[in-house]
Structure 1
Amino acid sequence: MVNNINNSNASTSSYSYLQYKNKVTGLASGMDIDSLMEKLMKAESAQMEKLQQQKQKYEWKRDAYREVNTSLDKFQKDLFDKYGLKSSWNSKTANVSANNAIDVKAGANASGNLSVSEITVAKAAQKRFDSQALSTQRISETTKISDIQGLSDKTALETFAGGDGSVKSLMDRFESEGFKMTLTNGQLKVTEQNNTTEMSETTKEAFTKLGFQFNTASQQSTTIKDSAGEIAKTDSKLSDLNLTSGKLTIGSKEIDLSEFASNPDATMSDLMKKIKEEGYNASLTNGKLTVTSPNSSETLQVTSDNAVLDKSFSPTFKTTTSATYVTSGGSGTLTGKNTIQDLLGGSDSESGEFTLNVIQADGTMKETTIQYKNSDTIDSLMSKMNSSGAGVTAIFNNGQFSISANNTGHNANGAEISLVSPSPLFEKLTGQSANDLASNGSNASMTVNGVEYKQSSNVFNIAGYTITANEDLKTGTPIKISSTNDTDKAVDKVKEFVNMYNSLIEDLNKRVSEKKNLSYQPLTDAQKAELKEDEIKKWEEKAKAGLLKGDTNINKALSDMRSTLTNFGSGTDNMLSKIGITTSKTWSDNGKLEIDEDKLRKAIEKDPEALSRIFTGDDSTDNKGIASSLRTTAQNAVKNIEKTAGKASSTEETYTLGRNLKDVNTKIDDWKDRLKTIEERYWKQFAAMESAIQKANTQSSIFTQ
Structure 2
Amino acid sequence: MVTRLNGFSGSGIDIDDTVSKLMKAARMPVDKLKQQKQTLEWQRDDYRAMNAKIMDFRNQAFNMKLQSSYQTKKSTSADESIVTVSSTSMAPEGLYSIKVNKLAKSASVTSGAVGKSSDQATMTSLGLTGDTTLTVGGEKGSVTLQVKQTDTIASLVGSVNSKSNITGVSMSYDAAIDKFFFVSSSTGSSAKINLQMKSIGDNDTQNLLNTVLKLPDSQPVPAPVPPIPVATPVANAGQTVTGGVAFTASGVTTLVDNTLTATQKLRISDGTITSDFDISKTTTVGKLIDAINSSDIGKSGVSAYLDSNNKIAFFNPNDSKTLTFSDQTVDTANVLTKLGLDSIDPIPAQQPVVTQNEDYSQYTITGSKAEIEFNGATAMYDTNTFSINGMTFTAKKEQAAADSAVNVTTTRDVEAVYNSIKSFVDKYNELITTVNTELGEKRYRDFQPLTDDQKKDMKEDQIKSWEEKAKSGMLRSDPLLTRGLTNFRTSFSNSVEGLPTGDAKSLAEIGISTSVVVGSSISGGYSDRGKIYLDDTKLKKAIAESPDEVMALFIANDDVKDSDKGDGIATRLYDRADDLMKQITSKAGASTSVESNYLIGKTTKQINSRIDALGYKLDALETRYYKQFTSMEKYMNQMQAQSAQLTQQMG
Which TM-score band applies after superposition, normalised by the shorter structure? 0.5 to 0.7
Is 1:452 the equivalent of 2:395? no
Aligned equivalent of 2:264: 352
**Which amino acid in structure 2 is aligned with residue 338 of structure 1?**
T
The 1:573–1:26 alpha-carbon spacing in structure 2 relative to 1, beyond 3 Å, is same
Picking from 628, 642, 648, the partner of 1:685 is 628
Please, which of 262, 278, 300 is the counterpart of residue 371 of structure 1? 278
C-alpha displacement of 1:132:
7.0
**Counterpart among 612, 617, 639 of residue 696 in structure 1:** 639
Within 1, Cα distance between the matches of 2:543 and 2:15? 84
Is contact 1:339–1:374 with CA below 8 Å preserved after alignment? Answer: no
Instruction: State yes or no: 1:569 paired with 2:508.
Output: no
Matching residue of 1:126: 139
- Preserved contact between residue 574 and residue 613 of structure 1 (Cα < 8 Å): no
- Is 2:253 the partner of 1:338? yes
Alignment of 1:283-298 (within 5 A): none
Q: 1:576 to 1:553 in 2, by over 3 A?
A: same
Question: AA paired with 1:564?
Answer: S
Give the corresponding residue for 2:359: none
Give me the whole-angstrom Cα distance separating, in 2, the residues matched to 1:49 and 1:557. Answer: 35
Matched, 1:594 2:525: no
Deviation at 1:676, TM superposition (A): 0.5
TM norm structure 1 = 0.56
1:146-197, Cα deviation, whole Å (9 max, x unpaired)? xxxxxxxxxxxxxxxxxxxxxxxxxxxxxxxxxxxxxxxxxxxxxxxxxxxx
Counterpart code for 2:586: K
Out of 405, 419, 422, which is 1:492 matched to?
419
- Deviation of 1:607 (Å): 2.5
Per-residue Cα deviation, 1:551-588 (whole angstroms, up to 9, x for no partner): 11111211222222222524742521121001245223
Partners of 1:419 and 1:637 lie apart in 2 by 71
Pairwise CA distance, 1:543: 0.8
Corresponding position: 1:50 with 2:32: yes
> Match for residue 661 of structure 1?
604
More deviation, 99-108/595-604: 99-108
User: Partner of 1:131: helix, strand, or coil?
Assistant: strand
1:101 deviates by 5.2
Paired residue secondary structure (1:523) = coil
Which AA in structure 2 matches 1:567?
A: N
Amino acid corresponding to residue 637 of structure 2 in structure 1: Q
Q: CA deviation at 1:616?
A: 3.8
The CA deviation at 1:384 is: 7.9
Contact 1:130 1:399 in 2 (8 A): no
Quick one: distance in 2 between partners of 1:643 and 1:687?
53
Structure 2 CA distance for partners of 1:348 and 1:338, relative to 1, 3 Å: farther
- What code does the residue aligned with 2:37 have? K
Matches within 5 A, 1:619-634: 625-634=568-577
Residue in 1 that maps onto 2:165: none
**Which residue of structure 1 aligns with residue 50 of structure 2?**
68
Matched, 1:583 2:519: no
How much does 1:610 deviate?
4.4
Aligned to 1:98: 79
The alpha-carbon deviation at position 78 of structure 1 amounts to 2.8
The 8 Å contact of residues 40 and 604 in structure 2, kept in 1 or not, is answered as yes
How many angstroms apart in 1 are the aligned matches of 2:431 and 2:304?
Answer: 56
1:635 aligns with 2:542: no
Q: How far apart are 1:636 and its partner, in Å?
A: 1.0
What's the CA shift for 1:122?
8.0
What amino acid does structure 2 have at the position aligned with 1:448? Answer: F
Question: Matched residues in 2 for 1:549 and 1:646: separation?
Answer: 19
What is the SS of the residue equivalent to 2:420?
Answer: helix
Supply the distance in 2 between the matched residues of 1:385 and 1:573 (Cα, whole angstroms).
65
Equivalent residue number for residue 40 of structure 1: 22
Assess if the C-alpha contact under 8 Å between 1:508 and 1:558 holds in 2: yes
CA distance in 1: counterparts of 2:640 and 2:322, whole angstroms: 107
Listed one character per residue, the Cα deviations across residues 359-392 of structure 1 (whole Å, up to 9, x for unaligned) are: xxxxxxx9997633253235656998999999x9
Question: What CA distance in whole angstroms lies between the structure 1 residues aligned with 2:638 and 2:465?
Answer: 54
- Percent of pairs identical after alignment? 31
Go from structure 1 to structure 2 and tell me whether the alpha carbon gap of 1:670 and 1:375 turns closer, same or farther (over 3 Å shift). Answer: closer
Give 1:100 shift. Answer: 4.7
| 1:603 match | 542
Give SS of 2:590's match: coil
Q: Distance in 2 between matches of 1:326 and 1:119?
A: 51
CA–CA distance in structure 2, aligned partners of residues 387 and 554 of structure 1:
61
* d(CA) in 1 for partners of 2:10, 2:533: 81
Residue 672 of structure 1 is aligned with which of 588, 604, 615? 615
- Supply the distance in 1 between the matched residues of 2:506 and 2:471 (Cα, whole angstroms): 40
Inter-partner Cα distance in structure 2 for 1:388 and 1:30: 95
- 3-state secondary structure, aligned to 1:546: coil
Q: Is contact 2:102–2:369 with CA below 8 Å preserved after alignment?
A: no
> For 1:448 and 1:21, how far apart are their aligned partners in 2?
102
Residues of 1 paired with 2:508 and 2:435: CA distance?
24
Normalising by structure 2, what TM-score?
0.60
In the other structure, the counterpart of 1:284 is none
* RMSD (Å) for aligned C-alpha atoms: 4.7
CA distance in 2, matches of 1:528, 1:510: 29
Displacement after TM superposition at 1:45 (Å): 0.2
Conserved? CA contact 2:23–2:622, under 8 Å: yes
Evaluate the alpha carbon distance shift between residue 603 and residue 684 of structure 1 in structure 2; reply closer, same or farther with a 3 A threshold.
same
Matched residues in 2 for 1:445 and 1:537: separation? 72
Q: What is the correspondence of 1:208-607 to structure 2 with a 5 Å cutoff? A: 331=249, 337-339=252-254, 341=256, 347=259, 351-353=263-265, 371-373=278-280, 375-377=282-284, 445-454=371-380, 460-469=386-395, 476-570=403-497, 572-584=503-515, 586-607=525-546
Count the aligned residue pairs: 456
Tell me the CA shift for residue 537 of structure 1: 2.9
Amino acid of the structure 1 residue aligned with 2:388: I
Task: Tell me what 1:246 maps to.
Answer: none
Q: Is the 8 A contact 2:261 2:281 kept in 1?
A: yes
Q: Is residue 2:553 matched to residue 1:614? A: yes
Distance 1:387 1:675 in 2: 77
Distance 1:516 1:677, change over 3 A: same
- Please tell me the residue identity of whatever aligns with 2:69: S
Q: What residue number does 1:26 align with?
A: 8
Which structure 1 residue ranges, 5 or more long, are not aligned? 1-19, 135-323, 358-365, 401-414, 433-437
d(CA) in 2 for partners of 1:21, 1:530:
31
Deviations 1:398-453 (A, max 9, x none): 979xxxxxxxxxxxxxx9xx99996788999xx99xxxxx9968765522011123
Partner of 2:98: 116
Mapping of residues 128-147 of structure 1, within 5 Å:
129-131=142-144
| Cα deviation code 1:27-47 (max 9, x no counterpart) | 311111111111110000001
Q: 1:468 to 1:660 in 2, by over 3 A?
A: same
Distance 1:27 1:95 in 2: 97
Secondary structure class of the residue paired with 1:31: coil
Q: Secondary structure at the match of 1:573?
A: coil
Matched, 1:87 2:68: yes
